[in-house]
Structure 1
Amino acid sequence: MELLLNPDAWIALLTLTFLEIILGIDNIVFLSIVSGKLKAEDQPKARRIGLLLAMAFRIVLLFGITWVLSLQDVLFHINTDFFSAGVTGQSLIIFGGGLFLLYKSVSEIHHKLEGEEESEKGKASNSLSNAIIQIALLNLVFSFDSILTAVGLISMKDPSQGGFGYEGALAIMILSIIISIAIMMIFAGPVSKFVNEHPTIQILGLSFLILIGVMLLAEGSHLAHFKFFGGEEVHSIPKGYLYFSIFFSLFVEFLNLKMKKGKKPVQLHNSTIMDKKLEDTDVTN
């Protein structure tokens, strides 16, 4: 009750919820791309399961926050004439996630632009379970990043010292995760439909994932204190620059879509929504 009456707690909740939604944009883009390859009836299920997994991972990691913070401890050192690092569990997870995201993004761009068209049998092979495994792997990485950001933002100090206390901070973080995931569930369907109906948005989305993958590689390198040839440590990329470039690119593309409204978009390979539209057109004709 004391927490509910604390205006600072409400401000912290709103701030953290907004931040979770912003950090979840890359999650929704990845969900849209992966679920877009499934059969139409499986796509909503994949999005729901993906977002519920994201929520579950974040809440579980919050309850194991001591273990998460212990991942910042150095596991082993590497010292050579041209390279040095102090590798941590956290840096391995973040770095591995960046590599996975780069591989997945580049592979998807290749399949959409130069890959072979899939038959109905081929589309069925893009099973729901396979999509969920990919979503779960990336959610794990995004969850670590999200939780560490939340812990850095919400003070766990005793209320007498200006914080919210451990239980109060935990309640704020869990509530912000639940609210942000609920909001993303509402908009995930329309966003996925829009992304999969517009080829340029799909390619932009995959390009954003490449940027995020590079950001994760830089973040993992920074956490492991990578040094090359005895120089300065590798620095992380500020998220503000990344999200500004994403929103600016989307703004430019929305202007392009508005100017070219009514023109038939180029069809990418492996697009279930576009295939369905073409089938409907053929039936009508």
Structure 2
Amino acid sequence: MESLIELFSQPATWAALITLIAMEVVLGIDNLIFISILTNKLPEHQREKGRRIGIGLALIMRLGLLATVAFIVTLVEPVIEVFGQGFSWRDIILIAGGLFLVWKATKEIHHSVDPAPSGDVFDTSRVVMTFGAAITQIILLDLVFSIDSIITAVGMTEHVPIMVVAVVVAVLCMLLAANPLANFIDKNPTVVMLALGFLLMIGTTLIAEGFGAHVPKGYIYAAMAFSILVEVLNILSRRAKQRSQGKKD
């Protein structure tokens, strides 16, 4: 306890904590978008439960990985070599997770543009996934995002208590943002395509990083922020037109 008090009495500790919390929250956005899209395909009464389970599993995985920091560090050591390129377990996991994200996003985009049986291509009320299938896919991607998150944390600080606090705060932020984000996506169906585009971009980035090509996260999130701004302007424009037409009628 005394060592913890001494650790958190240092200004450098708080600076590292704030920086790591911000990084973990940003990394958690990717995870949350995927969870929101998947759970919106469940029956309405199961959606909130699915989000809570998905985010809860993300927290459990992150804390579980933090308990094995010594093992996590070994994940960045090359275990196989292909055509002169060394691959670590982290690289293999990132490539597999990226391929899964690209496959999943492509499949969902196909379902969105292909005419639905009901005639509404953006009918989010139509149940197209079972609860078990959604949770299984969330677990797979939670694992990928958790490993990436913890390896990032290990690279930023050597103090496990700081990592634990940052991870818990970031996951709590995910929990608070889960329902508003999912509801916003559900009420604005065109946002689904934007979110799927994000998943494609994130999946491609994971694959690139798995092959050793570092992609600065700042560029990725700047592009996402700009896309969101454009979509928000489009939504406001559509609503303004709807109000104008309503007054005319």
Q: Would the TM-score normalized by the shorter structure come out above 0.5?
A: yes
Aligned to 1:92: 92
2:68 alignment partner, one of 64, 71, 79? 64
User: Gaps (5+ residues) in structure 2?
Assistant: 119-124, 243-249
Equivalenced residue count is: 233
Deviation at 1:26, TM superposition (A): 1.0
How far 1:113 sits from its partner (Å)? 1.5
1:103 maps to 2:103: yes
Q: What SS does the corresponding residue of 1:72 show, helix, strand or coil?
A: coil
| Contiguous gaps of at least 5 residues in structure 1 | 157-168, 223-234, 265-285
Name the structure 2 match of 1:242: 220
Aligned to 1:268: none
Q: Secondary structure at the match of 1:87?
A: strand
1:127 corresponds in structure 2 to 130
Q: Secondary structure at the match of 1:2?
A: helix
Please report the TM-score for the alignment, with normalisation by the length of structure 2: 0.88
Aligned partners of 1:17, 1:74: CA distance in 2, in Å?
29
Contact 2:41 2:128 in 1 (8 A): no
Q: In structure 1, what residue type is equivalent to 2:72?
A: V
SS of equivalent to 1:13: helix
Report the RMSD for the aligned CA atoms in angstroms. Answer: 1.8
1:217 paired residue among 180, 191, 207 = 207
Instruction: Tell whether the 8 Å contact from 1:219 to 1:237 is kept in structure 2 after alignment.
Output: yes
3-state SS of paired residue (2:82): strand
Which residue pairs with 1:160 in the alignment? none
Task: Tell which structure's C-alpha radius of gyration is larger.
Answer: 1
How much does 1:152 deviate?
A: 1.0
Q: Percent identity?
A: 38
Moved more, 135-144 or 6-15: 6-15
Aligned partners of 2:87, 2:163: CA distance in 1, in Å?
A: 28
**1:32 touches 1:196 (CA, 8 Å); kept in 2?**
no
Per-residue deviation, 1:177: 0.9
Give the Cα separation in 1 of the matches to 2:215 and 2:33: 20
Could you tell me whether the CA contact under 8 Å between 1:35 and 1:46 is conserved in 2?
Answer: yes
Deviation digits for residues 164-205 of structure 1 (CA, Å, limit 9, x no counterpart): xxxxx1111111111111121111101110012112211000
Task: Specify the alignment match of 2:79 in structure 1.
Answer: 75
Q: Which residue of 2 aligns with 1:5?
A: 9
Range that drifts further, 175-184 or 90-99: 175-184
Could you list the per-position Cα deviations for residues 85-124 of structure 1 after superposition, in whole angstroms to 9, with x for gaps in the alignment?
Answer: 2122111100000000000000011111205337xxx956
Give, in angstroms, the shift of residue 76 of structure 1.
2.1
Q: How many angstroms apart in 1 are the aligned matches of 2:241 and 2:38?
A: 26
Q: How does 1:1-285 map to 2 (within 5 A)?
A: 1-79=5-83, 84-114=84-114, 116-117=116-117, 126-154=129-157, 156=158, 169-222=159-212, 235-261=213-239
C-alpha distance in structure 1 between counterparts of 2:145 and 2:241, whole Å: 37
Task: Compute the displacement of 1:15 (Å).
Answer: 1.4
Q: Secondary structure at the match of 1:213?
A: helix
The answer to whether the 8 Å contact 2:41/2:127 transfers is no
Q: Secondary structure at the match of 1:3?
A: helix
CA distance in structure 2 between the partners assigned to 1:32 and 1:256 by the alignment: 21
- For the 8 Å contact 1:101–1:210, the answer to whether it is kept is yes
Contact 1:55 1:177 in 2 (8 A): yes
Classify the secondary structure of the residue corresponding to 1:15.
helix
Q: Which amino acid aligns with 1:187?
A: A
Q: Deviations over 1:189-233 (max 9, x none)?
A: 0111001211221100000000000100100000xxxxxxxxxxx
Q: Which residue of 2 aligns with 1:270?
A: none
What is the distance in 1 between the residues matched to 2:97 and 2:43? 27
